[in-house]
């Protein structure tokens, strides 16, 4: 089997056409629109341009959220838990979007916690500025507005939701249909507190509390009890009681600071409200904030006691962990087929020391460069605001399907169903023979694509640290992981004593090659199972059908004479038909369940769910997992299913939550980042009043039972 041959144009073209068709089918089933409805929220994109949208004017757009009873979403400062609604705009050149003009929120108590948010119906208005750079194609043209919105909607449980919206605003003429909704939203916005009063208003740091002094509030508010909403999150103890007094026209209050405070602002924007009237003031902070605990990698859950600072992991220790982690990646079952081919390649060069060295160096270069590229891509996307973690490539159903197709082709080739040489002209075969290093390099790339999602021991802390380091140091960690994975093969290629341990070439190699087809097919089974967790049974069934059709197409190309033309034509037609009819099922979105088993002990993890359970005094165990994570599945079937562990869980009345990261989920990515991790598995044990305990990635029964006994 030669990888260079596989990547030649005829086969790659067929493969990419199928992949593109699947992606196109996926996009066709999710057209953008102005209204998105879920079981909890009706979301609608609205426009308000009573004077048109010509150059120099400001028009308004907004996302209106209508909540089902008892459900709510969040303000710009969500309080003790939750996430604010986020809007990402796609606009024509010359049209710019401002910030959300947040309406006045309400305080939402949850046990001994409190959030700030909205229920009922709320409109989040955003101003669009039409600059001279906007050039309409014709006088009666329209402004195309596209929006991708993410919101977290909660009741007792929390559900992250998203929607894509589109509308057109006429450049000439008016759009005043939604005037009532926008006028109500404008009326609910806090007014800026102006005049001489704000200059004498401030926030004074007073030990474990802050003292607010505000002058210049309207006469109608004086003497009334005001509601207080700080715009800066993670400063005050949101649910704690606080005192306020009036001294003539001066309002003052003393508010306790959060024991988990993570912000130390020099200016605190606050909103004060009573009887539907709301005013906003930016208050200068006087005094010096106390030092925020440096250990941010394992933050205590809201409502619990602060945890003692732990010694941070050093760069040297992280590099050592990355090197060991890279070595251990070679033991991951999903990597065995690729590594077996690599060993077979080494045996072919047993009598060719130069070819042996070239193969080993090229393979190592493929591994190291791939890790470096993956790390750079992840860091770049995260810096652009994307919440991604290690192994993100297998969170894409299209990528999982592509790898399944690749391993199917490799398995059929190894089994002797076809030979690449039958499809390629002699000049291509001659070129491949002159460039064997390309095969070795691509072997390294493929090994990384399959191995990297398997978070090995010692790697979790190193990768978590990498996210907080400067780019060059972070990339050094990713490079070291690649060096660790490539090290055994580099040693075998460069050190004669190691190379002598390899078996000599012989007839056994043909048998070994055909035997290696079965690990390839086993890998396909695993990938189809992963896709089933992402896209449901329909997606897995569609992929199996396409793999069978694609295999038939490859077999048809081995036939001779006229039958080859007839059967190949029919096979191509069947492949195209299946792609068009069922291909979209492979990448269709489907709700990820809390557990892949029927075990009712486990509940779905959601943002703020841990805090809500801890508020009742119940301990919580969270399993951050993914279907494509082999270590996760091993731990799930062994330690987490152990009868003694389950008995201890029941005796301690531990609530079990499972955060399934099989598909990309920004909220889970953010939760992992707070724990100093960016890959799975991660196991965390929480108890009220204590710091969270992060357990080992390869979880033993003894370790977990010891942690449970300490509750």
- Residue 677 contacts by C-beta under 8 Å, 6 or more apart in sequence? 460, 461, 463, 464, 624, 694
Q: Distance between alpha carbon 507 and the CA centroid of its chain, in Å?
A: 48
Same domain, 470 and 564: yes
Q: What per-residue confidence (pLDDT) applies to 344?
A: 61
> What's the CATH code of the domain at 635?
3.40.30.10
Q: What per-residue confidence (pLDDT) applies to 378?
A: 65
In a domain, 686, yes or no: yes
Q: pLDDT, tens digit, for every residue of 12-66?
A: 434 433 444 343 333 333 334 789 998 899 999 999 887 777 777 788 999 999 9
Q: What is the mean pLDDT of residues 536-553?
A: 88
Q: Whole-angstrom Cα distance, residue 21 to residue 23?
A: 5
Residues of the chain with pLDDT > 90, as a percent, come to 18
Q: Which structure tokens are listed for 461? A: 């802390």
209-215 and 58-67 beta bridge pairing:
unpaired
Q: What per-residue confidence (pLDDT) applies to 141?
A: 77
More confident residue, 646 or 391: 646
Same domain, 320 and 464: yes
pLDDT greater than 70 at residue 589:
no
In a domain, 593, yes or no: no
Same domain, 267 and 326: no
- For residue 28, what is the enclosing H or E element? helix 9-28
More confident residue, 411 or 686: 686
Closest to 327 in 3D by CA, of 438, 469, 473, 491:
491
Q: What per-residue confidence (pLDDT) applies to 244?
A: 92
In a domain, 56, yes or no: yes
Q: Distance between alpha carbon 566 and the CA centroid of its chain, in Å?
A: 46
Most confidently modeled of 1-5, 10-14, 82-86, 324-328? 82-86
More confident residue, 14 or 155: 155
What is the four-CA torsion angle of 410, 411, 412, 414, rounded to 10 degrees?
80
HEC string for 363-394: HHHHHHHHHHHHHHHHHHHHHCCCCCCCCHHH
**534: confidence class by pLDDT, cuts 50, 70, 90:** confident
* DSSP-H helix ranges across 70-178: none
Tell the burial category of 264 from Cβ atoms under 10 Å away from its Cβ (0-12, 13-18, 19+): middle
Same domain, 343 and 434: yes
Reported pTM? 0.46
Residues of the chain with pLDDT > 70, as a percent, come to 74
How many domains does one find in the chain? 4
Q: What per-residue confidence (pLDDT) applies to 18?
A: 42
Residue 355 is part of which domain span? 313-586
Tell the burial category of 296 from Cβ atoms under 10 Å away from its Cβ (0-12, 13-18, 19+): middle
Q: 80-93 in b/e burial notation, b at 16+ Cβ within 10 A?
A: bbbbbbebebebbe
Q: What per-residue confidence (pLDDT) applies to 113?
A: 77
Please measure the distance between the N-terminal and C-terminal CA atoms of the chain and give it in whole angstroms. 55
Q: What is the mean pLDDT of residues 281-293?
A: 80
Same domain, 559 and 689: no
**Is 15:9 a contact under the CB 8 Å cutoff?**
no
Q: What is the mean pLDDT of residues 453-470?
A: 54
Last residue of some domain: 160, 188, 216? 188
> What's the CATH code of the domain at 71?
2.60.40.1250
Same domain, 317 and 388: yes
In a domain, 4, yes or no: no
Same domain, 65 and 169: yes
Q: What per-residue confidence (pLDDT) applies to 269?
A: 92
Q: 515-536 in b/e burial notation, b at 16+ Cβ within 10 A?
A: ebbebbbbbbebbbebbbbbbb
pLDDT greater than 90 at residue 68:
yes
In a domain, 578, yes or no: yes
Closest to 607 in 3D by CA, of 561, 562, 673, 556:
673
In the three-class reduction of DSSP (H, G, I as helix; E, B as strand; rest coil), residue 236 is classed as: strand
Last residue of some domain: 554, 586, 618? 586
More confident residue, 277 or 382: 277
Same domain, 507 and 561: yes
pLDDT greater than 90 at residue 415:
no
In a domain, 293, yes or no: no
Same domain, 655 and 617: yes
Q: Distance between alpha carbon 64 and the CA centroid of its chain, in Å?
A: 26
Q: pLDDT, tens digit, for every residue of 673-705?
A: 777 776 778 899 998 877 788 898 878 899 999
Q: What is the mean pLDDT of residues 635-660?
A: 90
> What's the CATH code of the domain at 226?
2.60.40
More confident residue, 526 or 333: 526
Q: What per-residue confidence (pLDDT) applies to 48?
A: 87
In a domain, 6, yes or no: no
pLDDT greater than 60 at residue 464:
no
Same domain, 375 and 486: yes
Q: What is the mean pLDDT of residues 619-637?
A: 83
Q: pLDDT, tens digit, for every residue of 232-265?
A: 988 898 888 889 999 888 999 999 888 777 788 8
Same domain, 548 and 514: yes
Same domain, 678 and 606: yes
pLDDT greater than 90 at residue 126:
yes
Helix, strand, coil abundance in the chain, percent, nearest 5: 45, 20, 35
Last residue of some domain: 163, 188, 213? 188
Beta-ladder partners of 126: 61
Closest to 405 in 3D by CA, of 568, 233, 199, 544:
544
620-625 and 655-660 beta bridge pairing:
parallel
Q: Whole-angstrom Cα distance, residue 272 to residue 217?
A: 9
Q: Whole-angstrom Cα distance, residue 477 to residue 314?
A: 12
In a domain, 14, yes or no: no
More confident residue, 120 or 691: 120
In the three-class reduction of DSSP (H, G, I as helix; E, B as strand; rest coil), residue 338 is classed as: helix
Q: Whole-angstrom Cα distance, residue 84 to residue 61?
A: 18
């Amino acid at each position: 089997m030669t990888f260079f041959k596989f990547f030649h144009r005829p086969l790659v073209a067929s493969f990419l056409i199928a992949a593109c068709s699947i992606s196109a089918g996926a996009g066709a089933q999710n057209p953008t629109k102005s209204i998105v409805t879920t079981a909890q929220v009706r979301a609608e994109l609205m426009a308000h341009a009573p004077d048109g949208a010509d150059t120099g004017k400001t028009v308004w757009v907004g996302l209106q959220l209508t909540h089902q009873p008892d459900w709510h979403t969040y303000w710009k400062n969500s309080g003790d838990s939750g996430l604010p609604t986020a809007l990402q705009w796609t606009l024509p050149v010359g049209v710019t979007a401002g910030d959300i003009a947040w309406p006045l929120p309400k305080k939402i108590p949850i046990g001994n916690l409190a959030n700030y948010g909205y229920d009922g119906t709320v409109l989040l208005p955003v101003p669009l500025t039409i600059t001279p750079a906007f050039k309409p194609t014709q006088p009666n043209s329209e402004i195309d507005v596209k929006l991708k919105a993410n919101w977290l909607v909660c009741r007792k449980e929390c559900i992250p939701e998203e929607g894509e919206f589109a509308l057109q605003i006429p450049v000439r003429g008016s759009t005043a249909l939604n005037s009532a909704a926008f006028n109500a939203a404008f009326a609910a916005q806090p007014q800026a507190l102006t005049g001489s009063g704000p200059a004498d208003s401030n926030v004074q740091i007073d030990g474990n509390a802050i003292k607010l002094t505000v002058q210049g509030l309207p006469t109608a508010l004086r003497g009334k009890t005001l509601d207080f909403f700080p715009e800066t999150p993670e400063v005050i103890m949101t649910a704690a009681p606080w005192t306020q007094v009036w001294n003539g026209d001066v309002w003052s209050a003393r508010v306790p600071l959060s024991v988990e405070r993570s912000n130390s602002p020099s200016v605190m924007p606050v909103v004060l409200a009573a009887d539907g009237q709301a005013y906003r003031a930016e208050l200068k902070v006087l005094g010096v904030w106390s030092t925020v605990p440096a250990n941010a990698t394992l933050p205590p859950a809201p409502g619990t006691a602060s945890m003692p600072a732990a010694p941070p992991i050093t760069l040297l220790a992280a590099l050592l962990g990355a090197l060991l982690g890279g070595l251990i990646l070679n033991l991951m079952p999903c990597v065995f087929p690729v590594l077996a081919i690599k060993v077979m390649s080494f045996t072919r060069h047993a009598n060719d020391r130069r070819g042996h060295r070239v193969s080993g160096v090229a393979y190592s270069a493929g591994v190291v460069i791939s890790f470096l590229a993956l790390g750079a891509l992840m860091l770049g996307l995260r810096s652009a605001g994307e919440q991604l973690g290690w192994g993100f490539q297998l969170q894409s159903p299209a990528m999982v399907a592509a790898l399944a197709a690749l391993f199917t082709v490799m398995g059929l080739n190894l089994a002797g169903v076809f030979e690449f040489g039958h499809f390629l002209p002699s000049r291509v075969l001659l070129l491949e023979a002159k460039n064997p290093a390309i095969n070795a390099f691509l072997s390294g790339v493929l090994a990384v694509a399959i191995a990297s999602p398997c978070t090995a021991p010692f790697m979790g802390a190193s990768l978590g640290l990498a996210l907080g380091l400067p780019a060059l140091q972070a990339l050094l960690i990713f490079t070291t992981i690649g060096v660790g994975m490539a090290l055994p093969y580099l040693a075998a290629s460069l050190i004669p004593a190691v190379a002598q341990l390899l078996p000599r070439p012989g007839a056994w190699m043909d048998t070994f090659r055909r035997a290696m087809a079965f690990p390839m097919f086993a890998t396909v089974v695993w990938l189809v199972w992963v896709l089933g967790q992402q896209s449901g049974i329909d997606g897995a069934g569609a992929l199996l059908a396409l793999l069978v059709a694609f295999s038939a197409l490859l077999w048809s190309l081995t036939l001779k004479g006229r039958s080859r033309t007839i059967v190949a034509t029919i096979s191509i037609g069947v492949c195209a038909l299946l792609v068009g009819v069922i291909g979209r099922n492979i990448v269709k979105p489907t709700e990820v369940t809390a557990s892949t088993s029927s075990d009712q002990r486990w509940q779905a993890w959601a943002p703020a769910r841990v805090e809500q359970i801890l508020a009742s005094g119940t301990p919580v165990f969270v399993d951050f997992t993914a279907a494509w994570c082999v270590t996760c599945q091993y731990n799930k079937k062994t330690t987490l299913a152990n009868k003694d562990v389950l008995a201890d869980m029941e005796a301690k009345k531990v609530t079990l939550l499972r955060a399934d990261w099989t598909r990309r989920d920004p909220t889970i990515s953010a939760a992992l980042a707070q724990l100093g991790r960016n890959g799975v598995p991660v196991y965390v044990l929480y108890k009220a009043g204590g710091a969270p305990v992060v357990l080992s990635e390869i979880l033993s029964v003894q370790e977990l039972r010891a942690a449970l006994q300490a509750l």
